[in-house]
Amino acid sequence: MVTTDAFKRVLTNVAGGVVLVTTLDDHEEASGMTATAVCSISVDPPLVIVCMNRAIATHRAVHASGVFAINFLTAGAERLARRFASNRPDKFQGLETTVARTGHPLSVWR
pTM above 0.95, yes or no: no
- Report the number of distinct structural domains present in the chain: 1
Question: Which value, in Å, is the radius of gyration of the alpha carbons in the chain?
Answer: 13
CATH code where residue 40 lies: 2.30.110.10
pLDDT in tens, 7-43: 877 766 666 678 999 998 888 889 999 998 888 888 8
Degrees to nearest 5, angle at CA 11 with 55 and 102: 60
Q: Which domain holds residue 90?
A: 4-109
- In 3D space, the residue among 69, 65, 103 whose CA is nearest the CA of residue 84 turns out to be 69
CB neighbour list of residue 27: distance below 8 Å, 6 or more residues apart: none
How far, in Å, CA of 89 to CA of 26, rounded?
16
